[in-house]
Amino acid sequence: MKSRSAALVQLGGLIISAPQQLRDRLACRTTLRGKAALARRWRASTEELARPTHAAKFALRSIARRIDTLDAEIAGLDRRLEQLVRAAAPRTIELLGISTGHAGRLLVTAGQNIERLRGEAAFAALCGASPVPASSGKITRHRLNYGGDRQANRALHLIAVCRLRYCERTRAYARRRGAEGKTKPEIIRCLKRYIAREVYHALRADLAAIDPRPAIRDTTIICGAGPIGITRRRT
């Protein structure tokens, strides 16, 4: 995905420096993806690459085809990833706004031994979604947490933005907190904290279903003199 983003940026920069004739042909498309789809169908003569128009056309087509190839590769990997994530975290992926990529990222952050975390507050801190006190004088406030796993924090941020767009309950919450004087970054911070709590319990249930803890047995050590009174717990 990073390679595709870099290719799109490269395509946009090349369009700016391309001859006016090619820029006019691409002007009918408003997005870079649309311009790439149009440039991918161009034909460039390899025998006339010394001419700026043909050289620019060849370069644009090459980058557009690279974007198309990366799109196909990403789609194929997403299909495989969706199968794995749905098998590992069916409860998590059913939550509102959580896509396959978000659930996969949060699974990696939590790890299979999620029981090492003391609770949902520890998971929120691990994701950089826990509030950090930033009070001064008579003002009591909290700021964003710039620590933790930034990729997991990004996933929580995208989930919060998605819910603000499509969930009426989330929008009502944002309006209420805004009326209380909260800024938009502060509202999103609060939303990420609530989402981290919801995701933690879903992940814990999913991982417990995949790898339940083994039963604990009591073992008594016996020597020739008989039991020595020491009982050890072994898994």
Query: Which has the closest alpha carbon to 155: 117, 112, 126, 120?
Result: 126
What's the confidence (pLDDT) of residue 138? 75
CA dist., res. 99 & res. 77, Å (int): 14
pLDDT at residue number 225: 45
Cβ count within 10 A of residue 8: 20
Which residue type sits at 141?
A: R
Q: What integer pLDDT is reported at residue 233 of this predicted model?
A: 52
- Beta strand spans in 90-209 (E): 132-133, 142-143
Task: Check pLDDT > 80 for residue 217.
Answer: no
CA 161 to chain centre: 12
The DSSP output letter for 42 is -
pLDDT at 214: 53
**Which helix (H) or strand (E) element contains residue 231?**
strand 226-234
Q: What is the pTM for the complete model shown? A: 0.72
Out of 98-102, 126-130, 198-202, 212-216, least confident range: 212-216
Please compute the mean of the pLDDT values over residues 167-184 and round it to a whole number. 92
Task: Answer whether residue 68 shows pLDDT above 90.
Answer: yes
Q: What is the pLDDT of residue 172?
A: 94
Rounded to an integer, the average pLDDT of 10-28 is: 90
CA distance 73 to 21: 32
- R_g over Cα of the chain: 27
CA torsion 90-129-162-203 (nearest 10°) is 0
- Tell me the three state secondary structure of residue 145: coil
